Structure 1
């Protein structure tokens, strides 16, 4: 039986963006920024709450990233670097080091590197990683 790891994303919704925090076994990994909640409308909304199995995905624009397949009615959802949700995201999740406003943060590349190191270590062992959004 494969080992399952759960990353927990807890969100706060705002008019200009959705802010969150990812934890693993109670330990803080990074903050996140996303678009505001607009009823899962592709390209302008954050993804719905739920449990998602993370998978390795390769995209021309972002290279190899953590993908979030199987989001109802959506495709190509990734976890990738961005510091301003409204300007840089089309429904994806961006890890950030510090939250600086609704849907805004800083040092996204640094936060993404930390998250990828954790997830890739689990994948390299053949284990499954899930993101639970609450």
Structure 2
């Protein structure tokens, strides 16, 4: 089993995070602000979710976040501006430059896929735990 951890910091204009594997950073992340888990305008709730591979018509072969309460089709895909490019999904970025904004998203996504895809291809489960910074 592969365990990933996303440690979030919330801001009015976006949610930023650090994605880790075995306690080491893989990349940073951007998401929409927390808006009570409302579809299309909010990041997803904190919790533990299974990641699966999914073919998306726009983004191709992607990681999907399954089991999100009241939500579906949550992907991890490239984006550099949460408010204009995300609808509840998670975007890995190489560096966060402001709340909900980052750079070099495709590079960061490849780093994540280099960890998740071999595990999934080997039949392992991949899990993502999302927590707020400073909260255990």
Please tell me the TM-score bracket, short chain as reference. Answer: over 0.9
Does residue 132 (structure 1) correspond to residue 132 (structure 2)? The answer is: no
Task: Identify which of 109, 115, 120 aligns with 1:118.
Answer: 115
Compute the RMSD of aligned alpha carbons.
0.6
Aligned counterpart, 1:41: 38
Partner residue of 1:5? 2
Structure 2, unaligned runs of 5 or more: 132-136
> Secondary structure of the residue that 1:119 maps to in structure 2?
helix
> Aligned partners of 2:66, 2:60: CA distance in 1, in Å?
16
Instruction: Give the length in aligned residue pairs.
Output: 131
**1:50 paired to 2:50:** no
CA-CA distance at 1:121 after TM superposition: 1.1
Identify unmatched segments of 5+ residues in structure 1. none
TM superposition score normalised by structure 2: 0.95
Q: State the alpha-carbon separation in 1 of the partners of residues 119 and 72 from structure 2.
A: 24
Distance in 2 between the 1:35 and 1:67 partners? 17
Q: Displacement, 1:59?
A: 1.1
Q: Which runs of 4+ in 1 moved over 3 A?
A: none
CA distance in 2, matches of 1:56, 1:49: 21
2:2–2:116 CA contact under 8 A, matched in 1: no
In the TM superposition, residue 14 of structure 1 has moved relative to its aligned partner by 0.1
